[in-house]
Structure formats: C-alpha cells, structure tokens
Amino acid sequence: MTNQKEMERYSVITEKNPREIVLLRGSGCRWRRCTFCDYHLDYSRDEKENYHLNRRELAKVTGRYHCLEAINSGSFCDLDERTMTLIEETCLKRDIRQLHFECHWIHRAEIPAVRRRFADRGITVKIKSGIETFDYNFRENILRKGIDEADPARICAPFDEICLLFGLTGQTAASMRRDIETGLALNERVCINIMTENTTAVRPDRDVIAVFARELYPLYIDDPRVDILMENTDFGVGGEQIPAREL
C-alpha cells in the first residue's frame, strides 16, 4: 500500500502477559475477504522496503520481558525470509524466550515448521488466530472469515490463543459469553477486540458494545488470560504516530 500514514509500530504491554509488541509489514494477508477488516491494507509488495521498515522496528526491542509479539496485519508467513531471520536474531540477542505470531486458519499447515524453527533456538512460539466467533453462520456468512470448520475444538487445535470480535449487530450478552468461555476452554489466552469504525461497511453496534461493557467487561477485565481491546490501538500499535513536535 502506498501513501499510508506513519503508524506506531512498537509498543510495550505492561499488564497481564507483559510483552513488547511490534507491528511489522509483510506482503499482505492472503485471505483479505473479512468484511469487517481494513488493516490488511498495511502491506507492501516491496520486500526490500518491508525489510527496512521491519529492521527499524525490531531494533527498538529491548527484551525487557523476554517476550515479544510480532504481528503484521496478516499471517507470519506473509513476512519475508530476511525479516524472519532478523526476528530470530533479535530474539537471541535480546534473550527473548517466547515469541507470539498471528496466523490465519488457511496457513495452519505452516505452523509446526515455524514452531520447530524457533524451538531449535530455545524460543517458544505461540500462535494467535482471529476466530472472531464460534458461531459458524455468523462468522462465515456475515464476517466471511474463511474458516471452513464448525467444531471449536478443531478450529483451535493448531493455535495457542485466539481473537474474538465483539460489538456487532446480532451479538448478545449470552453469545459473547459463550464465545469467551469456549475460547478459554480451548486456548491459553483470548483477546477480545471491540469493533471500531473503519473504512469497511461494517459498523460497530453501540448497543451491543454497551451490553458488553456492562455485563461482560467486569467479569473478565481482571482475568490474566483475557486481553480486552476497547479500541484496536489499545496495545499501542496501529495508531497514527504523533510527530515529535506535538508531544
């Protein structure tokens, strides 16, 4: 993508599972059909430019928590090989022992190899996947997520952590709670994203968000296995960079 605004791409998450996080850039999500998503627009076909951007961001990693989340508006397999090598080198140099990547269901067959690759260097890989909801009809016919499997256990089997998407018309307190409990039963961690306005036609439903805030947020906000992002920039990456003079 060209002409994109400079985004914050490095941040530190100090609460729950403390970790550093980098938003890298790859060749682009290969699914790209989710109706609610526009962050797949953060990509470039120019491998060299991606590598330079990724090198700049990875240079900020200090290893303070020995844990790094490397995301890229797609799946780890969209990153170029030089970037993958640099991630590996950064982990070794900064004593990072746990590395989190994102991966879409369609690339699940590539997960064992990436786990082995990093395990050989003493680094444990955790894979997060956007499942959004376990309601097959809602997920596939409305959100067009591209997960051709209905069984939650089979869906979660390749992954360690999942993302859920709430704040959409049709969701209820009961349906959201069911999704969270299913996610927690089948995964180490669950990340809840609340829908925010973006360039797609899918709009956040203020009433559903109010229901979530009132009935579910208090139940899970202190759960160390649950991240809740009321805004999709709550992890500190993906937002617009504030020029130094405005600080």
Interface ranges with ligand SF4 (CB under 6 A): 29, 31-32, 34, 37, 39-40, 73-74, 104, 130
Q: Are 193 and 235 in contact (CB under 8 A)?
A: no
For the CB of residue 30, give the shortest distance to ligand SF4 in the complex, in Å: 8
Nearest to ligand SF4 of 93, 144 (CB atom): 144
Judged by beta carbon, residue 80 or residue 102, the one nearer ligand SF4 is 102
Q: Cα–chain-centroid distance for residue 128?
A: 6
C-beta of 31 vs 51, nearer to ligand SF4:
31
Q: Which is nearer to ligand SF4, 84 or 165 (by Cβ)?
A: 165
Q: Which two tokens stand for residue 231?
A: 């805004």
What's the burial of 183, exposed, middle or buried (CB within 10 Å: 0-12/13-18/19+)?
buried
For the CB of residue 39, give the shortest distance to ligand SF4 in the complex, in Å: 6
Instruction: Return the SS3 of 190.
Output: strand
Least distance in angstroms from the C-beta of 165 to ligand SF4 = 9
Burial 149-174 (b: 16+ CB within 10 A, else e): eeebeebbebbbbbbbbbbbeebeee
What are residue 226's DSSP bridge partners? 190
CB of 144 to ligand SF4, least distance (A): 8
